[in-house]
Structure 1
Amino acid sequence: MLSHLNEVNDVKILSVFDDEFKTYGNVVTGYDFNELIAYMEKDTDIPENGNIYVASVPEMERANIVNAIRDEIYGGMPIQVGYCNGRNTTYNGFEYHKGSEINVAVTDFMLVLGHTWLIAKDGTYKVEDAKVFFVPKGTAIEMFQTTLHLSPCRVYDEGFKGIVILPQGTNTPLESKPANREGENKLLLQKNKWVIAHPEREPLIKQGAFPGLIGENKELKY
Structure 2
Amino acid sequence: MDDPLKLGDRSGLPDDLLFLARKHPRETWRGRAGLAGTGEIWLGNHDHFRAVITKIAEQLTKLSEEGETTYDSGPSIRRHVGGLLGGLDGHHRVEDHHYFPIFQRAEPRLLRAFEVLDTDHHAIHDAIDELAATTGDSLRRLRQTEGVMTSDQRFAIDALAEVVERFAPILRQHLADEEDIVIPLILERARSDPEFS
Q: Which interval holds the TM-score relative to the shorter structure?
A: under 0.3
Greater CA radius of gyration, 1 or 2? 2
TM-score, with length taken from structure 1 = 0.23
- Of structures 1 and 2, the one scoring higher in RCO (CA 8 A, sep 6+) is 2
Q: Name whichever structure is richer in helix by fraction.
A: 2
